[in-house]
Structure 1
Amino acid sequence: MGTVSLPDTWVYALRLPHDPRAARVARMTVRAALSSHGREEILDTVELLTSELVTNAYRHTNGPASLRLTALTDGRLRVGVWDSHPRVPAPFGEPPWDHVSTTPSDSERGRGLHLVQQCADTWGGWPLSEGRLERGAGKLLWFEVGRTRDTRTPT
């Protein structure tokens, strides 16, 4: 009897309602998916950054959001969050892409995109209008982290 091994690439997608609990549901989904695929080494970072993007989607829109986790063939994990607001914020949007405005030290909000900038290996975003889809289709923000360690022995 043969054994079944999990594929190196996989995709999970989740539609999130406009609900203050959406970030928690996203964190639980990330934790379950990464744990089941043995990616605990990136779990804390992915969980934090996903939570930040989903929280922003809830705070800045009145509609649903979507979460997509994609394991790429080279070991990276790409996380995408779609929402219905068309504006792409820095560092995802217009130049300078490498700068997020400073948040006042006494502010209780506004540090989420700083975390993405500091913790993700790469990130990006684009509006989903401009002829690609119907006008006002929102935006997609994404980030990538990690590479799996090569556990093969050299020959």
Structure 2
Amino acid sequence: MSASLVGAVAACPVSRKPCGTAPAPPSPDTLIYSLTLPAEPASSRIARVASRAVLHTHGLDDMVDAALQVVGELAACASHFAAGGDMYLSLRYRDGALRVVLYDGHRRHEHRRLVEACDGHRRAALRVLGRVVRAYGGEWGFGEAREPGGGTRMWAVLPRRGVG
């Protein structure tokens, strides 16, 4: 084996866990999932079902109702604005809060008036989401996706403390 190949192999990470070691059980801090779905109305249900399973598995049953409402609202909005394309859902628990991010392929308009009109339509479509997130003490928003391919990034943060 050449010296460069040996050096490259030595640089590969190796698990320090012995074979057969049981993985740590899922917890909120290990929640990080993503899912790509078609931007269709039926995908909202699929996103909610998958999110319910993830939240339950990671012990976040106390957040299920609000989180599923948020996921459903974001997915429904994306299916309206990016019909026929894809949408990408990300769920992550970090710093005591559930972060829900949804990307859709609807690109930002270049003309200022079109941007304002489109943002107004999206804000109106997310009216219920805004109320749920505010009631939960969280925050939400949307804007241009910075990822390759562009589109729109919508997000919501739900602190675990939630509604009393």
- 1:133 corresponds in structure 2 to 148
Show the 5 A alignment for 1:69-80: 69-72=91-94, 74-80=95-101
Show the 5 A alignment for 1:44-123: 44-61=65-82, 62-72=84-94, 74-87=95-108, 112-120=125-133, 121-123=138-140
When the two structures are aligned, how many residues end up with a matched partner?
128
Decide whether the 8 Å contact of 1:49 with 1:112 is kept in 2. no
- 1:19 corresponds in structure 2 to 40
Give the counterpart letter for 2:148 in structure 1: L
Decide whether the 8 Å contact of 1:82 with 1:141 is kept in 2. yes
Structure 1: 5+ residue stretches without partners: 102-109, 150-155
Please give the TM-score of this superposition, normalised by the length of structure 2. Answer: 0.66
| Cα RMSD for the two superposed structures | 3.0
Structure number with higher helix proportion: 2
Change (3 A) 1:148 1:117: closer
Higher Cα radius of gyration: 2
Give the counterpart letter for 1:141 in structure 2: M
Decide whether the 8 Å contact of 2:103 with 2:145 is kept in 1. no
Decide whether the 8 Å contact of 1:11 with 1:71 is kept in 2. yes
Distance 1:63 1:27 in 2: 19
State the percentage of identical aligned residues. Answer: 29
Decide whether the 8 Å contact of 2:43 with 2:75 is kept in 1. yes
Decide whether the 8 Å contact of 1:16 with 1:22 is kept in 2. yes
Distance 1:113 1:14 in 2: 21
Give the counterpart letter for 2:152 in structure 1: K
Residue of 24, 29, 45 corresponding to 2:50: 29
1:119, CA displacement in angstroms?
Answer: 1.6
Change (3 A) 1:52 1:3: closer
Change (3 A) 1:5 1:133: closer
Output one character per residue of 1:88-121: Cα deviation in whole Å (capped at 9) or x when no partner: 9xxxx97xx9xx78xxxxxxxx965122211211
Change (3 A) 1:43 1:9: same
Distance 2:143 2:39 in 1: 21
Decide whether the 8 Å contact of 1:77 with 1:145 is kept in 2. yes
- 1:104 corresponds in structure 2 to none
Please give the TM-score of this superposition, normalised by the length of structure 1. Answer: 0.70
